[in-house]
Amino acid sequence: MASAPKTLQEAIIYFADAENCRTFLADRRWPNGVVCPRCGSKNVGVIKSRGLWQCKDRSHPKAQFSIKVGTIFEDSAIGLDKWLTAMWMLANFKNGVSSHELARSLGVTQKSAWFMLQRLRLALQETGGGLLSGEVEVDETFIGGKSRNMHIEKRRRRITGTGGADKTVVFGMVERGGKVRAQVVPDRRKRTLQTEVRANVEAGAALYSDALLSYDGLERDYAHGVIDHAVEYADGAVHTNTMENFWSLLKRGISGTYISIEPFHLFRYLDEQAFRYNNRKDMTDSDRFVLAASQIVGKRLTYAEVTGKVGETIN
Ligand SMILES: [Zn+2]
């Protein structure tokens, strides 16, 4: 297996060659030899001149296939040189990449770049992963809306418990020294938040949250420490600083790079930020890129699915 490029510059040079793109992806997708993505047959030949493979089990249509079939790249006319460069950038740039920056960097339209980023975020999405355990912090935050004074807003909401109609509620859970999970939730009600906690955190874990009443009752299954924000200091281990650090990373990325995000798309930005956060330690840019590239299979997103605009196509 060819080793992966070490830097963005190396990646751009290496993936300028279409054969390198195919080999790189095929080696990782099919380490034991190419498999037909439609029928699973290993009886596959190469059509080298066209950069395609041919399933020799001809009993099914579309027996010829490219490396893009069955991945986030399926049906895209954009070359793998651009796709893999974009993947490198998104997996590694701390604050993400805007569709405008990507469009300028790659020479594609902003609309294409936006769609590429949405598909790439799908590849960054973590699946499975088991329960968080040990010491776990949980917290909610609000994204979006027009408020300029988030501090006062946040305080007000801690008192009233409302998020405002123009805000999206995001719920996050992080294992100290481990992984974060963040997702959009419909509200901050007890049932909503506690369902998420129980689905993601191992019973018996130490759980830290603020004093929101929705967390009441979790002490039956967890060693629940509650932070009183009315006092200015953190009580030893009882804090949600790790979760709050993640929120600042997320908000810096959103306000600095993306300017505005429709609530409908917010979960993809959460997946993107969580990918970089969860893979920040003991990993090189190259490692993160290879990990992202290993997650392209079995995921697909059509333009209509991303935008809700049926009948419109892109790229
Ligand atoms: Zn086949």
Interatomic CA distance for residues 96 and 76, integer angstroms: 22
Distance in Å, CA 16 to ligand 1 centroid: 29
Distance in Å, CA 264 to ligand 1 centroid: 37
The pair of three-digit structure tokens given for residue 162, joined into one six-digit string: 């409302």
Distance in Å, CA 57 to ligand 1 centroid: 5
Which residues crowd ion ligand 1, with CB under 5 Å? 36, 38-39, 41, 55, 57
pLDDT tens, position by position, 163-199? 455 789 999 999 999 999 999 999 999 999 999 999 9
CB 171 within 8 A of CB 182: yes
Q: Could you tell me how far CA 56 lies from the centroid of its own chain? A: 36
pLDDT tens, position by position, 274-303? 999 999 999 999 999 999 999 998 776 666
Q: Could you tell me how far CA 113 lies from the centroid of its own chain? A: 17
What per-residue confidence (pLDDT) applies to 236?
Answer: 83
Alpha helices in 216-295 (DSSP H): 241-253, 266-278, 285-293
pLDDT tens, position by position, 16-51? 999 999 999 999 999 999 999 999 999 999 998 999
Distance in Å, CA 58 to ligand 1 centroid: 7
What per-residue confidence (pLDDT) applies to 121?
Answer: 95
Beta strand 135-143 with 64-65 is unpaired
CB 258 within 8 A of CB 98: yes
CB 201 within 8 A of CB 133: yes
